[in-house]
Structure 1
Amino acid sequence: MKSLSAKNKKWWWIVVIAAIIAVNFFASVIHKRIDLTNEKRFTISPPVKKILGNMDGVAEVTIFLKGDMPAGFKNLSTSAEELLQEFKEYANGRINYKLISPDEQMPGTTRTYADTLSSLGIVPINLKVQLKAGEQSQYVYPAALVQYKNKILPVNLYSGTQTVITPPELNSSEALLEYKFADALYKLMENKKPMIAYSVGNGEPTGDNVYDLVENVLRKNYSLFTLNIAKEPVIPDTFKLLMIVKPTVSFTEDEKLKIDQYVMRGGKVIWFIDKLEAEMDSLQIKNQVIAYDRNLNLDDLLFKYGVRINPDLIMDLQSDYLPFSVNGKDQFDFLHWNYFPLFESKQNSLINKNVGLVAGRFVNSIDTVGAAGIKKIILLSSSANSRTIETPALISGEENRNAPEDEAFKKRDIPAGVLLEGRFSSLYKNRVSQQEMDSLEKYGTPFLTQCINNNKMIVVADGDIVLNGVQQGSPLPMGVNSYTVGTQYEYQFANKQFVENCIEYLINTANLSEARAKDYTLRLLDPKKVAEQKTNWQVINLALPVLVIVLIGIIYQWWRRKKYSV
């Protein structure tokens, strides 16, 4: 027995080494993570796992958040790296990523990466820092480039404003990283882009003022076609979405029937409607304009679907700036123009989640009306200090010479954009002639009195939200006020992000809603307590660990002396 025991002790190290090798082998094959965070920060949603698992090529991701920058953007960079490492695990190693400073020179060229990013439409954030020599501009590019099979797509990693960087906006940007990277990969992996129809038959804009919408939103991500509804027998079902942007010409009953039946067959529609005729061009020329109804003949159709666009205008104390003449013709001062309301996101939908202020111009209010089986979600609404004025209304540039009467701005949350979901009923039930029904049958689209399945559409009572300004013949980004460009009041609002979210929500081919719905809880320290208790916590964090180690050493030495002393 003694010899057997000695033999076992002799070879114990072989058993230990074998156990270590076995543990490492199984650890390399079997990956299991436990996410202990309340918001499941480190859990990849199932649709994203599916996209990563379907990759049959290698994706190269370049993150341009390297170098000297504020702590918030460094955290955003770290979060992006950690997320891509998670992506790499589920993609079986088919994702490579690296960090690059945008000021670095591109190999084989004299250009920097910043030049390339600008050409791809990525706008840097200008952080002004005070140095001894004076004010200096520091540019940060919170962006990434995703390359997959000779295709490349830029990804904007920061979802906040371009001027005031806040912890909640950075926190929201971190929460959206999974969605943004997954959405980019999905679009690069798609062999066929969804088809979108842009209506052009009723006076919709087609010039430079829709450049950003057409080139940087629609054509970049979708197959875009123009559609004259009057000239088509039916609206083809191949179009996943119909966009009707700021029409100025009345719709005929035949056109409305085609739209109605397109909706009944499951087609999605976004309406950006200016019910009233009120334009800045007229105001600049005459210094006043009368807002009156365009008579678009859409009231009954939209009413049937569950909304009514009112013939009024929203005035809001939370509004954008315009230059007004003061003390003479050559002196101008920037004042809030109450007819340019700024809509806050209520965070009540995947569409407006983590979306900043959306700028409108001469916006009508919306009422929701009874429609069986239709769910209504308000996407855009006014601030707590707003009002409406009935039309016809005289709008004058003289209004802002004196401060508005705050007592009149008592209304709050006046709706201006609504999401409708459910089984819509046809406006033309029991109203279609036999000839019209035969015509629909001829083209393989029999008349339907109700949607075949649940459907959805978005109605926004402002056509200017999706338009961009033009300055010196060059289109500006969507959400930028052309009157404030080059001044301290220049600001890019979240119009483009709102429009992109609307389109993605309606089409929703990747089913990434779970990833988009993620929200990280921001746990901020109390600034007052930090200031009061700063020294105490510094002593606790720095001195206490050292004292504990010294105390343990003293006790250990005392115990050794006591144990081994003769």
Structure 2
Amino acid sequence: MAKDTSKQNKSNQRKRNDIIQFVSIVAAIVLLNYLATMTFTRLDLTEDKRYSLTDATTEKLQELEDIVFIKVYLEGDLPAGYERLRDATQEMLDEFRAYAGDNIQYEFIDPSANPNEEKRKQFYQKLSDKGLEYTNVRVNEGDKRSEQIIFPGAIVTYRDQEEAVQLLQSQMQTKPEVMLNNSIQQLEYELMSKVKVMTQYAKKRVGFVRGHGELDDLETADIQKSLSDFYIVDSVRINGQLDALQLHDAIVIAGPKEKISEKDKYVIDQFIMKGGKVMWFVEPVTASMDSIRKKGITLGVPQDVNLSDQLFKYGARINSDFLLDLQAVPIPVVTGMVGNQPKQEFFPWYYYPLLFPQSQHPIVHNLDAIKTQFASSIDLVGDTAIKKTPLLRTSKYTKVASAPHRVALNILRHEPDQRQYNNSHQIVAALLEGEFESVFKNRLTRKITENPEFRFKEKSLPTKMLVVSDADIIRNNVNRSEEKFFTLGYDKYTRKIYGNKEFVLNAMNYLLEDDNLITARSKDFKMRLLDKPRVERERRFWQILNTAAPVILILIFGVIQFYIRKKLYT
């Protein structure tokens, strides 16, 4: 009897312990949840921090004053790659909501959901008019092939403003899976840059300098239009006026063909000394493609615009030469006649280097190829205190030809000798950052330097500038007779759009940004791709393993649990 009572007491004690343990666990969970409501924190345990937002993004999201509504047109029956982009976009928007709360709202829409073909086409056209680009995807279903139209983009709305965002970033000579991974890396920047544009109150001012034979308003119309989404953009003539640039935060000097006077150089120099930002697009040589097309030959000659000493002082020397690159933009060349019609074929025109950015700098990270025309080489020189970053380089197979230089189409008649193309990776664009010394230091009389009207500074505030040896990078094609302009980077022969516009926009954003949002462009997610041959070879084994292993594990767990309970209660 005493033995039975002892067993009963042990059983009751065990039950009480179980109840106390259960109540303690529940109380701990409730307490942790209560503490979690009082403090906000998020942990990202991924190696490449793919679920972490930059400080600039979180700050901007927390400052939102109204609802940002995002319509994402990635929904429906999507191919696997686009499905991954869709999921990554939703995860990013959920991250945004974690900081912005209800001020971030989103909706996923299938643009092909309407069964009526006519209405579906009208909707496609509506999205295109808003600035979204569609992609034709070939779908294989057994023996049948069909095409599917996908709009990998979104429309962001804030109050009465609306902006289009292209989520899939195209890149030439890039595998689809790499291009997709790069697009996912850029989601934060692409979405937040639009949010920033729509929510900022005060815009900075960018001036395009005129008066020295620079590219005109029509030739820079597309980039001015794009920059105006972020900044106030205007044209400015210096004309020796000391205060000509005082209202501007940055200036663009795009392809001057006439000598810039010392007075204007002084105004530009002092603008830099006070912290102003400059984009220099300076061509030290000139050649006419029109002459080549008419006569098959032209002479490329140096042109002096009186900026060499100034750029050298800041840390860059643009050389009077032509860069020939075997990795080049193709042009049509007449190779014969078919009946009475000329026969044209495309050949890479070595004087038009095609630049594929390799730098990890946020200005060019994961950027598409840049189209150039008659570019020159840049040497980085001078003060070691100035940070100098090459952004664009030619390929491994580059040849440098000093001006004056004969440029002729007959170079295409023969296969190039790669041994002559041995000046690899020449710099075409470079970023300079730091405190610059005035080019007029020790060149002015004390009467000028001490005159308060001139306000001379011989050392700059911390600032930045971009130096590019080809003004065609920022020049869009034009139709003079109709006063029309084409998208910057558009090639009328191949009908491709290169990354010129994105390069200039990113560079200006980097020069003028004070919130470091552009650092989101430097995110780099590691790709973890499957070994496709091995997948095909071992497909059946892994299918059986993934099907049978969970069942076997559950059975083993059940048997172990049975023996534990049997031993515990026997």
Q: TM-score, with normalisation over the residues of structure 1?
A: 0.88
2:219 equivalent to 1:214? no
SS of 1:441's equivalent in the other structure is coil
Matching of residues 422-433 of structure 1 within 5 Å: 422-433=434-445
SS of 2:208's equivalent in the other structure is strand
The Cα of 1:120 is off from its aligned counterpart by 3.3
Per-residue CA deviation, residues 54-107 of structure 1 (Å, 9 max, x unaligned), is: 1111111111212233322221221111111111121132110111123467xx
Matching of residues 133-282 of structure 1 within 5 Å: 137-161=147-171, 166-215=176-225, 217-230=226-239, 232-282=241-291
Counterpart residue type for residue 412 of structure 1: S
The Cα of 1:38 is off from its aligned counterpart by 1.1
Counterpart residue type for residue 467 of structure 2: V
Aligned-residue identity in percent: 30
SS of 2:387's equivalent in the other structure is strand
The Cα of 1:391 is off from its aligned counterpart by 1.2
Per-residue CA deviation, residues 330-373 of structure 1 (Å, 9 max, x unaligned), is: 10111111111111212232211111211111101111112242
* Corresponding residue to 2:315 among 306, 311, 335: 306
SS of 2:265's equivalent in the other structure is helix
Counterpart residue type for residue 404 of structure 1: P
Query: Unpaired runs of 5+ in structure 2?
Result: 1-8
2:570 equivalent to 1:542? no
Matching of residues 464-479 of structure 1 within 5 Å: 464-470=472-478, 473=482, 474-479=484-489
SS of 1:199's equivalent in the other structure is strand
SS of 2:546's equivalent in the other structure is helix
SS of 2:538's equivalent in the other structure is helix
Matching of residues 146-545 of structure 1 within 5 Å: 146-161=156-171, 166-215=176-225, 217-230=226-239, 232-328=241-337, 330-433=342-445, 436-437=448-449, 441-442=452-453, 446-451=455-460, 453-470=461-478, 473=482, 474-485=484-495, 491-545=496-550
Alpha-carbon RMSD: 3.2
Task: Give the match for residue 5 of structure 2.
Answer: none
Q: Residues 8 and 437 of structure 1: is their aligned pair in 2 closer, same or farther, counting only changes over 3 Å?
A: same
Conservation of the 8 A alpha-carbon contact between 1:125 and 1:163: no
Task: Give the match for residue 90 of structure 1.
Answer: 99
The Cα of 1:553 is off from its aligned counterpart by 5.1
Q: Residues 102 and 112 of structure 1: is their aligned pair in 2 closer, same or farther, counting only changes over 3 Å?
A: farther
Task: Give the match for residue 114 of structure 1.
Answer: 124
CA distance in 1, matches of 2:140, 2:15: 74
Count, aligned residues: 550
CA distance in 2, matches of 1:111, 1:530: 39
Counterpart residue type for residue 356 of structure 2: E
Conservation of the 8 A alpha-carbon contact between 2:112 and 2:120: no
CA distance in 1, matches of 2:503, 2:349: 22
SS of 1:301's equivalent in the other structure is helix
Conservation of the 8 A alpha-carbon contact between 2:238 and 2:245: no
Counterpart residue type for residue 99 of structure 1: F
Q: Residues 24 and 400 of structure 1: is their aligned pair in 2 closer, same or farther, counting only changes over 3 Å?
A: same
Conservation of the 8 A alpha-carbon contact between 2:237 and 2:244: no
Conservation of the 8 A alpha-carbon contact between 1:125 and 1:162: no
Per-residue CA deviation, residues 181-216 of structure 1 (Å, 9 max, x unaligned), is: 22222222211111101111111222443222111x
CA distance in 1, matches of 2:568, 2:452: 101
CA distance in 2, matches of 1:281, 1:359: 18
Counterpart residue type for residue 553 of structure 2: V
The Cα of 1:113 is off from its aligned counterpart by 4.8
Q: Residues 309 and 333 of structure 1: is their aligned pair in 2 closer, same or farther, counting only changes over 3 Å?
A: same
SS of 2:366's equivalent in the other structure is coil
SS of 1:92's equivalent in the other structure is helix
CA distance in 2, matches of 1:69, 1:110: 17
Q: Which moved more, 1:313-322 or 1:21-30?
A: 21-30
Conservation of the 8 A alpha-carbon contact between 1:470 and 1:482: no
Q: Residues 123 and 475 of structure 1: is their aligned pair in 2 closer, same or farther, counting only changes over 3 Å?
A: farther
The Cα of 1:285 is off from its aligned counterpart by 2.3
CA distance in 2, matches of 1:526, 1:133: 26
CA distance in 2, matches of 1:424, 1:456: 9
CA distance in 2, matches of 1:558, 1:437: 95
CA distance in 1, matches of 2:222, 2:143: 38
Counterpart residue type for residue 176 of structure 1: Q
Q: Which moved more, 1:25-34 or 1:399-408?
A: 25-34
Q: Which moved more, 1:38-47 or 1:465-474?
A: 465-474
Conservation of the 8 A alpha-carbon contact between 2:240 and 2:267: no
SS of 1:326's equivalent in the other structure is strand
Q: Which moved more, 1:515-524 or 1:163-172?
A: 163-172
